[in-house]
Structure 1
Amino acid sequence: MTFVQLIDCRTSRFDEMNRLMDTWVEQTKGKRTATHSLIGKDRSDASHFVEIVEFASYEEAMRNSGLPETDKIFREMVALCDETPTFTDLDVVRDEQLNCVVARGFFEEAGRARTEQLFERFTDDYVDHDPANPEDLGLRGARAEYDGWRRSFDFSFQVDDQLAEGDRVCTRWTWSGRQTGEFLGIASTGQQVSMTGTTWHRFREGRICEGWWQYDRAGLMEQLGVLGQ
């Protein structure tokens, strides 16, 4: 179970504390078990800071606390605080990357959802970047592209992995399908095919506003008997 620790402190010497944290990161390379650290400043009190440190488990957090470097930095951090910091230990009971949920829903429904329903997740000014197309597409072009794939293949996506950072979500996927119609001049073969790819989606206000696609199009064409002959 993921574990997070909240460190609540007040200091008028944040710049020094920030450099101290950089020192800890450098000194604990190959040793630390913390996976994510986030520091927030209170908008109503410039001396009030909260650090959120994430670990894979409580046990990993205890290992991290036991490092000599952690103990040394902690004592130096306390000296920079205006008062003794407080600690809150939390077991994470729900962890949901909301943009990931939207991106995953797109891939899970693609191939079977109606175009209108599928693209409700997208902004009206959506921009699509696909190296297979000579120009970037807008929302109308992306919808037409999807309809074209639907006419050519009976397909579905499997989400293999996802990462989220800021307003972007990266999805690594496997696409599988059977050719049921003409595709790029290739008559329907009934062939079962698959390919892997990665898509970056950028979000604005909970909707997808931009997409970047990379996928093994050459491998798909080879399976359809166009390449490698």
Structure 2
Amino acid sequence: MTFVQLIDCRTNRFEEMDRLMDQWVEQTRGRRTATHTVVGKDRSDAEHVVEIVEFPSYEEAVRNSQLPETDRIFREMVALCDGTPTFTDLDVVRDAQLNTDSARRFFEVVATGSDLSPVTGLVEEHYHDHDPANEQDIIGLDHFRREMDVWRGGFDFSFRIEDQIAQEDRVCTRWSWEGTHRGDFLGIPATGKKVSMTGTTIFRFGGNGKIVEGWWQYDRLGLMTQLGVVEPTDL
């Protein structure tokens, strides 16, 4: 079970404390068990600082605390504080990656259902789409829906999510796509062929949790080869 430790302290020597944290990160490289750390400063009280440190488990946190560098730097950190820091130990019982969940839901919606109306709750009206297969970027949710309808009209298809990585306001999804060519696609009559491809999409999310920008990379040449439009290349 993921374990989180909150370290609450007061200090007017934050810059020195920040340098101590940099030292700890460097000196424990390859041995520390902490996986994520966030330091926050109280907006209404600049001397009130909270550090949030995440570990894979409580046992890993104990191992981390037993590193000599951790003990030494903690003692130096205490010397920079007004009073002794307080600790709150938390077992994580819910961890919802909201943007990641929304990105996953997007791929489910575009591949299933009779219409794309649920996309409205996921994608902003002024959405900006970057697709190297298009001569110009797509601007606007309505235009993007029409682009998705081209694919939905040409194929019965599904996505499989292979990996997702989230950082700040962006979610990167590596996916696999499989479809059956049931209808006209970019002037190519239905062939009935089963086709597949892989790709990666990066979504940027706005402050309201909706997707505002997307970047796509996928094997369109391989798809066209499978449809018989492009001759396979011998390597």
TM-score, normalised on structure 1?
0.96
Aligned alpha-carbon RMSD (Å):
1.3
2:127 counterpart residue number: 126
1:143 matched residue in structure 2: 145
SS at match of 2:138: coil
Q: What amino acid sits opposite 1:26 in the alignment?
A: E
Of 201, 214, 217, the residue aligned with 2:220 is: 217
Deviates further, 96-105 or 148-157: 96-105
Residue type of the partner of 2:85?
P
Separation (CA, whole Å) in 1 of partners of 2:197 and 2:88: 46
Displacement after TM superposition at 1:121 (Å): 1.4
Q: Distance in 2 between matches of 1:115 and 1:96?
A: 25
Displacement of 1:140 in angstroms is 2.4
Which residues of 2 match residues 67-146 of structure 1 at below 5 A? 67-113=67-113, 114-138=115-139, 139-146=141-148
What is the identity, as a one-letter code, of the residue corresponding to 2:213?
E
Contact 2:203 2:211 in 1 (8 A): yes
Decide which moves more: 50-59 or 109-118: 109-118
Q: TM-score, normalised by structure 2?
A: 0.93
CA offset at residue 117 of structure 1?
A: 2.3
Q: What is the DSSP-based 3-state SS (H/G/I as helix, E as strand, rest coil) of the residue aligned with 1:94?
A: coil
Could you tell me which amino acid in structure 2 is paired with residue 201 of structure 1?
Answer: F
In structure 2, the residue matched to 1:190 is 192
Name the residue aligned to 1:17.
17
- Counterpart of 2:43? 43
The 10-residue stretch of structure 1 (113-122 or 205-214) with the greater mean CA deviation from structure 2: 113-122
Post-superposition shift, 1:207?
Answer: 0.8
Identity over the aligned pairs, expressed in percent? Answer: 66
1:228 partnered with 2:229: no
Which letter does structure 2 place at the counterpart of 1:166?
Answer: E
| Worse-matched range after superposition: 174-183 or 17-26 | 174-183
How far did residue 177 of structure 1 move? 0.7
Q: Give the number of equivalent residue pairs.
A: 229
CA distance in 2, matches of 1:218, 1:64: 49
Aligned to 1:57: 57
The one-letter code matched in structure 1 to 2:211 is I
CA contact (8 A) 1:12 1:47 kept: yes
**1:100: how far off?**
1.3
Taking the aligned partners of 1:59 and 1:160, their CA distance within structure 2 comes to 30
Counterparts of 1:227 and 1:30, CA distance in 2:
49
Displacement after TM superposition at 1:14 (Å)? 0.5
- Please say which of residues 183-192 and 35-44 is displaced more in the overlay: 183-192
| Unaligned segments of structure 2, at least 5 residues | none
| Whole-Å separation in 1 of the counterparts to 2:143 and 2:125 | 12
Instruction: Give 5+ residue unaligned stretches, structure 1.
Output: none
